[in-house]
Amino acid sequence: MLTVTGCPSPNVGQPFCLSPLMSASLYCHIVFLFADSLGENTKVLPGLPQPPTITHQSPKEYIMDPRENIIIHCDAKGKPHPSFSWTRNGTHFDVEQDPNVIMRPHSGTLVVDLSRARPENFEGVFQCTARNKYGSAVSNNIVIRQSKSPLWSKEKFKPIVVQEGVSLVLPCRPPAGLPPPIIFWMDNNFQKLPQSKRVSQSLNGDLYFSNVRREDSRNDYICYARFTHTQTIQQKQPITVKVLNPDAINDTMADYYNDTELLNEAPVDERKPTFLIPSGHSSAKMVLRGHVLEMECIAEGLPTPEVSWTKVSGDLPGRRASFLHFNKTLRIVNVSESDAGDYRCTARNQLGSAQHTISVAVKAAPYWISGPPKNLVLAPGESGVLTCRASGTPKPSIMWSRNGGPIENSPKDISRKVEDDTIIFTDVQTDSSAVYQCNISNPYGYLLSNAFVNVLSEPPRVLTPANKLYQVIENRPALMDCSSFGSPIPKITWFKDSRASTLDGDPYILHDNGTLEIQVAQAQHKGKYTCVATNMLGIYENHVYLETKEPTHIIKLPDDKVVQRGRSVLFECKVKHDKDLFPSLIWLKDDEELPDDERFIVEFDSLSITDVSERDAGTYTCIVNTTLDHDSATAELTVVEPTPAPAVLHGRPDPPTDLELTDQKKRSVQLTWIPGEEHNSPIEEFVIQYEDSLHRRGHWHDLARVPGTKTTAHLKLSPHVYYTFRVLARNAVGLSEPSSPSRMYKTDPAAPDQNPKDVRGSGTEHNNLVITWQPLSGLQSNGPGLHYKVSWRQKRPGSDWTTVTVANNSRFTVSGTPTFSPYEIKVQAVNDHGDGPEPAVALGYSGEDLPLSAPTNVRATVVNSTLAELHWDPVPLHLIRGHVQGYKVYYWRRHNLHKHNPDHMEKRILTFSGNHSHGMLPGLHPFSHYSFNVRVFNKKGDGPPSTAQQFKTPEGEPGPPVSLSVTDPSLDSLTLEWSPPHEHNGHITGYDLKYQPVNNSNELGPEEELALAANETSVTLKNLKYSPRYRFYLNARTSAGAGPAFSLEHAVKLEEGNTQTSHPVAWSPRRRPINKARPASPFANVSSSVEEDGALISWEYWGPEKNVYVEYIADNSEDEEEWQKELVNGSQNVKLKGLKGGLSYRVRVVAQGHHEQPLHSEELFVTVPAVTSRQVDIATQGWFIGLMCAIALLILVLLIICFIQRNKGGKYPVKEKEDAHTDPEFQPMKDDDCTFVEYSDNEDHKPLKGSRTPSNGTVKRDDSDDSLVDYGEGGDGQFNEDGSFIGQYSGKSSSRDNAEGQESSGAPSPINAMNSLNSFV
């Protein structure tokens, strides 16, 4: 038999079956030999043959989406690598003959391209076969079916008129789909209809009223069917219900008689309950084991009945049973055979009760009793057994196959004998290698499993590195490995030095895996050791060396010290160690590093402290470490006040004595002791410690503390621990030395009491799920053989749990998962003595991928000259393929609309965290043309951009004039000259000049005002003889208003050659803040915009404090004191420069008052993108594209003129130069054909009935709504699983053009286009 001994990685690979000749301890080594994840050891076992093994296959039921390709998985391993073939409906499926089907390289996975084929052509039963020269393995039968979401049949409902108090059933009867749809009822406004004990939805989707009331009257009872696989929703025609009281029936009978359905004209009295469903007094129901059982009882009556459930033949399963729909539905998950029996539902009100009995029968599809058959690896002449043991109801039948064919049709093999669920192999030969299939089936399902028999003949080899050196401390155990493999199993023998005799007796212990152990290594044991592996095919030997070292000891222990404050103290720690080991010594104070204080002086073997203070008191530990061992010692420092007179000496107590264990139980024991001498200080408490000799020998842990007045403690213990106890006494001076240890007390092993905590599931790749947990400690394991059952299933109806066993690890990776799919996860602790408690189910998600779609219906509404409101339709959640992190708006200024200020701005990014559908875009330049697009992003990154949109900002107030100066001053006049503002922000309509005299006391006189034309840049003021000095204020105006003024103070000419110097002052009039309701914080609408030279932070602020600044810190910073400060000088925005690319920052705005704590805004997260090289592609520049379009248009016009002249037969001149043409940069054009844009809002699908979307796809805001509270907010339009809210679920909008100007919803015309063009100039 082939085996690997010394198994370094027993937790990897697939399980193998043990032969009767193989010892149980070698099981892990066979696992190691054929593992996929051998790591470096793969090179050790090259070329070993292996029959095929199916490693991955599609589920038995595969529902295909006609919009996507079909992918049928079939992967296998083996040596040599297997080839693959397929059957469809039991006959050979020739992949090469179908151009729409390809098989992936080195795999059997089929990919069917449905873009050119009909989906129904590929429905059927598919099966994959993987084969090599040693056998054939087959997959399950994979049934391929097409998903269906049929339309609702057209039907018209008459209004239903009922008398108040009667029962009513509104039928839904949805179309049958694959898979079945989810049913819910809503009204015309897409609001979920309220349900209660009186009104509820049944499992088949009908809406039941136990009794109707007047408020039930409405004309929009609508049943919806949601088909999850195709992500579509069908709606039934609305049903009208009118509920009348008895007095109103006669008055309205004539109105409704012809076109309504009137139910129950008779007066309605209070009545006892009767069941609407199910009918009769009893019914029967069948459910499969492991499935979900749902039983419902809906009763009518007046008053509304209460429903309760009992099990006639026993109790309801507590943890697996739940009550839904106001106790009308009993749901039992993970059904077992014990759930069979009679269940009784009772409906009760004040007038009586009604009962119904449901008989439940539990059937079971086949399931494994002890797992599927294990692979069998044998050597020639050995024997083995394949067992295929399963159960089911009714009892399943078993059928064996060999290499995919019936075993009775395979070649006769005298070494093989089939006995029902077992195949016995005796005296196998090399030609007995094959893959056997076990098929267990009954009417409710089947199990198919492959298990190979691999007969190998291999000489022995030793895997332990040659000449390996082992170093151990004297009197400690020594373990020397001899990892080997071979077939048959090699025999391991050890020799020392001269090989006088084998090492198989005291003091040597030879383990089954070949390891040689010396329990107490002494100096005479060092030397050369030889490991020899032998079987019938050869012999292999390997040499290792053992060295023993002297233990490290602290020979001079530090003493406890009591020192007066201000004195010095010295602790000594002298060490003895082996000459070949190099120790390192460190000192700790109270188990932490020594304070960074020059008073602490550390020498190699001592610690001294000068000028001792009270804070120096504590426990000092000397630790010496070598590469093989360590030792430590502690001393207590007590600092006392200096006293002139001698006082009573206080000391630490003596250790307790005479420890005794009584009242011994499995999980507890009682410990008693005798206290030691107190030394003038009463004992305050006793500390009980224990040592676990099984798991952590030499480590003592605190177990309990009891008051100093007690000498007995009742100790709670854990299973599978070798306890030794000791007791320490504590008084005001300190702890005593430990008592002598008690005798050892061993507790019996048991199953785990707890499961791992912090179970999580997340993906590192888009197609995997990484399950992690916090492993149990050795003390928590409760017994040997600790491992974990890791189970997961996709969170959707009908998903089955998949379970694997993981040992010596705290993570497991599930590959081949769909992208960002929810999974239910649980991890259960198991040891050799049983399973832990039923684990809790955690929710995780497989890996994310980049979003697939961009936001649609993107539009902008200009609020004012510096602010725009953006709207978009959020990307459906299933297309985001991850947790939605938010939306990013990329925007840039294409050009300024004023001819004096043409410019181009780099792209900026504004981020809205969360699932928003609109946001505010602040900090815009007035009178400019902007473009923008919107992208959704998740943790993986950004999705594709939306179609670029444009908008224009209106005129704003201009900036101050660039300069203002005085020329030609005289005795009573002067001339003012100025330069226009740098920022026009619109068309300058004029200037306002104000001036007033200033006397010698700096008092201002009456103000004069002049209105100047826009084209003026100077003015002469006369008759300035009333004051020696004047102050001037000049500001520009646009249609939006006057901008800030430029201020200048100047003196008139007093006499020839004597003038006063002018002093220009920049002045801005104070503006009244917007009157807003003040929230608790004085900050609002804090937002960020990442630019090329920094991050622009904007906010609103109305607080009284003047000291306002911005703080920021790197998100990964651990020190909260590292906040950086940026002053803002009274403005409400600031640009943070010097931020590092690729990092995220936390930003907040702070207001600091004189007597109050600082006021903080909410923290804002700003991510700075990594810096990339700026390479401008001329082909993407607007001016270049415009120029090329103009040249092409000119050539086209010339060609048309030539063609017309040629047809007339005349000659024609050609102008060599155009007089003038409009700058193409200012024309709204398409990028591809240079034509004027025509806006189109084309809808591919109409919205559901009842939606209120305007024809232009936008929602008009109220004119008075100028609040900025909406910055970064949004999120409407989401669609919950239960259908409680629906937006435009299936509507898709696409724009025919890729670039748009600032169009209205009306159709454009050439005249409008020309007028728009003229307004730009």
Three-state SS for 224?
A: strand
Cis amide leading into 179 (omega within 30): yes
Three-state SS for 730?
A: strand
Task: Report the pLDDT value the prediction gives residue 45, as an integer from 0 to 100.
Answer: 64
Rounded Cα distance, 520 and 912, in Å = 68
1309 Cβ contact list (under 8 Å, min separation 6): none
As given in the structure block, the two tokens for residue 655 are: 């250790």
pTM of the model: 0.45
The number of C-alpha atoms within 13 Å of 1244 and in the hemisphere containing its C-beta is: 10
Q: Which amino acid is at 37?
A: S
Task: Report the pLDDT value the prediction gives residue 1219, as an integer from 0 to 100.
Answer: 41
Question: Which residues lie across from 398 on neighbouring strands?
Answer: 440
Task: Report the pLDDT value the prediction gives residue 894, as an integer from 0 to 100.
Answer: 80
The number of C-alpha atoms within 13 Å of 723 and in the hemisphere containing its C-beta is: 26
Task: Report the pLDDT value the prediction gives residue 740, as an integer from 0 to 100.
Answer: 93
As given in the structure block, the two tokens for residue 332 are: 């039992």
How far is residue 351 CA from its own chain's centroid?
Answer: 54
**DSSP letter, residue 740:** P
Q: Is 1104 exposed, middle or buried (0-12, 13-18, 19+ CB in 10 A)?
A: exposed
Rounded Cα distance, 1022 and 38, in Å = 100
Mean pLDDT, consecutive 10-residue stretches, the chain (1321 aa), reads 40 33 35 36 60 94 87 94 93 90 92 87 92 93 88 81 92 86 90 91 92 91 87 86 75 50 59 92 93 94 94 89 93 93 94 94 93 91 92 93 90 89 90 91 93 90 92 92 89 85 84 91 90 91 92 90 91 90 91 91 90 93 93 94 72 92 89 90 92 88 91 91 94 93 92 92 91 90 91 90 92 92 94 92 92 93 92 92 92 71 70 91 90 93 93 91 86 87 89 87 83 90 77 91 88 51 39 40 78 81 76 79 78 81 85 71 80 52 83 92 74 38 37 36 37 38 38 40 38 38 37 34 29
DSSP characters for 355-417?
EEEEEEEEEEEEEESS-SPPEEEE-TT--EEEE--EEEESPPEEEEEETTEEGGGSPP-TTEE
Task: Report the pLDDT value the prediction gives residue 1026, as an integer from 0 to 100.
Answer: 64
Contact 1083, 1148 (CB under 8 A): no
Rounded Cα distance, 1064 and 1200, in Å = 61
Q: Taking Cα atoms as reference points, which of 631, 717, 626, 732 lies closest to residue 682? A: 732
117 Cβ contact list (under 8 Å, min separation 6): 100
